[in-house]
Structure 1
C-alpha cells in the first residue's frame, strides 16, 4: 500500500463537516504561532497526516543502517587518505573546520533523511546530516493545533526537538558545561522562516540548571570565548552562511564544545548514495547492509568526464544533483529538461561535482492546502529525523506543481504521525467527536 492509499481514509475524514469545522477554528492559532516566531513565509498544511507504525519503524531502522554504513566508509577513508585529500574529495574549502574524531563516530548525529513515497514503496533520496537542519518546528505547530482542539493525537509521540534537547543535556553533563549557546548567523535575521527559539525552549526544559542563550554570531559575547571550556555551542548556521571565518576560528579556539562542526558538510554530501553503489566501498559493508541499500536507495552514480555524455543521453530515467547544495537548489529532473539545458547547468562546475540518481515515480497525494479548498494531487517528500540514533515522526512537504519539493519555494509543510490502525481509528473518532460538539460558526 502506498503512502497515498494508506492516508486516503484519513484525508477523507479531514473533509467531513465536523472535523473540517474544528480544524477551521484551530488553524488561525497554528498560523499565528508560526508568524509570532517570524516564520511568515512558511506555508503550513491545515492538518497532520499519519503513517503506519510498522512502516515508520522500517524506515527508522533503514536510516540507522545507512548512517552506520556511512560511518564504516568514513573510517576507511580516514585511515587511507590524508585530510587534504578528504577536503578535496568532498569539495570543502580549507576554512571548513572539521572535528575529525567526531567524523569517525556515530555519536551526536542530527539528521533528516528525505524519503520518497513511491509506487514501489519508500525510497530515500538524500541524507541531510547537520545541526542546522530544520522542519522539526512543524511538530510544535501541530502540537499547538492539537492543544487548541483538545486532540490527543501527539500524546506519547517523539519530538525531534525534544530529542535534540536531550542530546544537548547529555553532552552538557559529560562536559560539565555551565551554559548552552545556540548560535545562528546574522544574515538569518528576519528572513521569514523559523529560527531556533523553539529549540531554546526545549533545551531550557531539558536542562533548567544551565544558562541557555540564543544569539547570532555578531552578538556572541567575549566572556563566552574566555570561558570556552564551560560553554556548549549548538551551531545553527551553515558553512555557506559564513562570511567571517575568523569568528569560527575564535569559537573553536576558545575550547568550546560545538555541536556540530563542519564535518557534517562531509556527511551531508550528495555523493554518498553513489558511494553506497560503488564497488570500492561496497566491499566494506556486510550483506544485510547491502540488502538495505538495494531496497531503499535508488541506484546513483557520480558523474565523470567519461560517463557524462551517456548519463545526459539517459536523462529521462535520471535526476541530476549538485553534490554540495541544499534546499532543493540544483536538483534537475532529467525528463523535464533537454540535453542542452542539462549541459548548460553543468557548465562552470565540472562533472565530478554532480551525481545522477535513478528517477523513481512517486505516488501523488490528493490533499487540500487550506481548510475547505478543493483537494488536488500533490508531489510529496517525507523526511525522517534521527537524533543520536532516536527516530521521530516525519516532516511532509507537498507541492502541486514541482517534482522538486522545497519549502523555500512554493511547497507547504505538515507533520506525519506514526500510528497503528487501531490508534488511527481512535484519533479519527476523537476528532469527529470534537467536531460534533462544535456548533457550525461557533465554539465549543
Structure 2
C-alpha cells in the first residue's frame, strides 16, 4: 500500500474518533510538550501518520547506497581533479575550503543526513541530499511519541529516534577517542526563536553520556577556556549552524578547529549536499564506477537530472515545463523553480543572475496528496515531502512536510506544516486500526 493510500484510510479512521482523541488529550499533551521545549511556534500538526515498514526499509537502504555511490565518485573526482578542481565543480568558496575534512569527504564517516523523498502514486523518488549536522525536523519523533503515549498506542515502539542515533554515535566516538567533554553549538541568531532548536539534542546527550561534561552554547558564550589552542583535544562538538549563518568570516569555527576539538560535521558536507549530485549519478562516466545495487537504486529512486551549461540551456528552456530548475548551492527551498510555473523570459532572468552553469534541471516529481486540516480547520489536499534521516548509517523514521499552497514544500518558506510518520508492518497497522475502532470512550463524533 502506497503512502497516500495507507494514510487516507488511516486519517479517515482517525477522524471518526475525535471523541477518543479529545478525551485522552493527545493534542493538548503534544502542545504542552512543544511549549515546554520553547517550540510553541513550530508549524506542527498533531496528527500521527504511518508508513509501510517494507517501503521504509527500501528507501533507507537506497539512501545508504546513494551515499556509498557518492563516496566512490568523490574518490574518483579527487584523484582526477584534485582539491582545487573539486572545489570548482561544486562551487565551494575559498572561505569554506579550510574547513573541509578532505579524507572524510570521501570516507563519509559520522554523517548526519536527511534525504528529501517525494511519495508518488507508484513509489518514492529522492529529490535532494541534505548531508549536514544542521538538518532539522527529527524532533517530531518525540512529538509523535507523546501523542501515542497519551492514547496508549505503540506508535514509537521498537523504533529508533534520530536523537537516540546521534547519542549512539557520540557514545561510540567519545569512547573510541577518549573524549570527556561534549558541546552542542548553535549560532546566536537562533536563540529564543520558539521553534525547534538543539535543546532537544542537548538534553538527550546529557542523559546518554553520564559522567561527561555535556553543554550547549552559542558562538557568543562558548566556554572561553575550551577555545584556547590545543585545549579542546578531549571535546566533541556538534555543529548546529550553517556556514551561511556565520557573520564573522569564519573566525569562530577556525578557533574551534585550532582548539583541537572533533567536530560533527565540518564543511565537507557542503560538497555532499550540492544539487549537482543527482546529475552526476546519472552520467555514464561515473556510473561505470558503481556496482549493480548502487545503479539499481539510482535508476529506481533518482529522477532524471541534468547539469545545465551554456550549450544545453536553450534546449532545456524550450522544454522548461518538463523540468524543475534548482540552484546547486541552495537550501531551505530557495532557488527552486518549476518550469511550468514561469515563462522562458522569467527563467532566463533568473539564470542570468548567477550564471546558468550553477543550475541543474530535474524531472519534476508529482507528489501524491492527502487531506489534512489547515489552521482554520478546513480540510484540503496537501502535497508531501518525506525527510528520511540516516545518522551514522542508521535509519530513524520520516519527517513529513505538507503544503496545500506550494509545490516547493518547505517549512522555512512558511508554506508548509510538519508531521511525523511511524513505520508500521501490516500487522501493526491493522492492530492500530482495530484499537482505534474499539478503544473507549465510544460515542459518535459531533455532527459536522
Counterpart position of 1:219: 221
Give the match's secondary structure for 2:220. Answer: helix
Counterparts in 2 of 1:121 and 1:214: CA distance versus 1, 3 Å: same
Counterpart position of 2:28: 28
CA contact (8 A) 1:149 1:434 kept: no
Give the match's secondary structure for 2:298. Answer: helix
Counterpart position of 1:349: 354
Quick one: which of 379, 394, 402 aligns to 2:383?
A: 379
Aligned pairs, number: 440
CA contact (8 A) 1:136 1:395 kept: yes
Report the CA distance between 1:149 and its aligned residue. 2.7
Quick one: which of 393, 397, 402 aligns to 1:393?
A: 397
Counterpart position of 1:362: 367
Give the match's secondary structure for 2:25. Answer: helix
Report the CA distance between 1:120 and its aligned residue. 3.1
Counterpart position of 1:172: 174
User: 1:312 and 1:106 mapped to 2: Cα distance?
Assistant: 36
User: 1:434 and 1:284 mapped to 2: Cα distance?
Assistant: 55
Quick one: which of 111, 120, 135 aligns to 1:109?
A: 111
CA deviation string 1:68-102 (max 9, x = no partner) = 00011111112222222222221112221111111
User: 1:92 and 1:365 mapped to 2: Cα distance?
Assistant: 39
Report the CA distance between 1:366 and its aligned residue. 1.8
CA contact (8 A) 1:111 1:129 kept: yes
Q: How does 1:140-159 map to 2 (within 5 A)?
A: 140-159=142-161
User: 2:19 and 2:426 mapped to 1: Cα distance?
Assistant: 19
Report the CA distance between 1:151 and its aligned residue. 2.4
Counterpart position of 2:407: 403
User: 2:374 and 2:19 mapped to 1: Cα distance?
Assistant: 15
Return 5+ residue gaps in structure 2 as ranges.
none
CA deviation string 1:39-60 (max 9, x = no partner) = 3332111211111111011111
CA contact (8 A) 1:130 1:260 kept: yes
Counterpart position of 1:262: 267
CA contact (8 A) 1:22 1:434 kept: no
CA contact (8 A) 1:384 1:393 kept: yes
Quick one: which of 337, 343, 364 aligns to 1:338?
A: 343
Counterpart position of 1:58: 58
User: 2:139 and 2:418 mapped to 1: Cα distance?
Assistant: 10
Give the match's secondary structure for 2:107. Answer: coil
Counterparts in 2 of 1:437 and 1:294: CA distance versus 1, 3 Å: same
TM-score, normalised to structure 2, is 0.94
CA deviation string 1:263-316 (max 9, x = no partner) = 011111111001001122111112321121011000101110111111111111
Counterpart position of 2:276: 271
CA contact (8 A) 1:23 1:46 kept: no
Counterpart position of 1:133: 135
Counterpart position of 2:80: 80
Counterpart position of 2:184: 182
User: 2:146 and 2:28 mapped to 1: Cα distance?
Assistant: 10
Report the CA distance between 1:436 and its aligned residue. 2.0
User: 1:172 and 1:437 mapped to 2: Cα distance?
Assistant: 51
Q: How does 1:277-288 map to 2 (within 5 A)?
A: 277-288=282-293
CA contact (8 A) 2:20 2:439 kept: no
CA contact (8 A) 1:319 1:358 kept: yes
CA deviation string 1:301-352 (max 9, x = no partner) = 1110111111111111110111111111111111111111111221220111
Counterpart position of 1:100: 102
User: 1:225 and 1:399 mapped to 2: Cα distance?
Assistant: 43
User: 2:338 and 2:252 mapped to 1: Cα distance?
Assistant: 38
CA contact (8 A) 1:185 1:236 kept: yes
CA deviation string 1:4-57 (max 9, x = no partner) = 112222111110135663388321221232233333332111211111111011
Counterpart position of 1:235: 239
CA deviation string 1:98-136 (max 9, x = no partner) = 111111213201101011111231110010000010000
Q: Does 2:321 match 1:319?
A: no
CA deviation string 1:225-262 (max 9, x = no partner) = 23211111110000111112111111101110000000
Give the match's secondary structure for 1:416. Answer: strand
Return 5+ residue gaps in structure 1 as ranges.
none
Q: How does 1:201-212 map to 2 (within 5 A)?
A: 201-212=203-214
Aligned-residue RMSD, C-alpha: 1.9
Mean Cα deviation higher: 60-69 or 94-103: 94-103
User: 2:440 and 2:419 mapped to 1: Cα distance?
Assistant: 21
Counterpart position of 2:44: 44
Give the match's secondary structure for 2:429. Answer: helix
Counterparts in 2 of 1:107 and 1:135: CA distance versus 1, 3 Å: same
Counterparts in 2 of 1:19 and 1:12: CA distance versus 1, 3 Å: farther
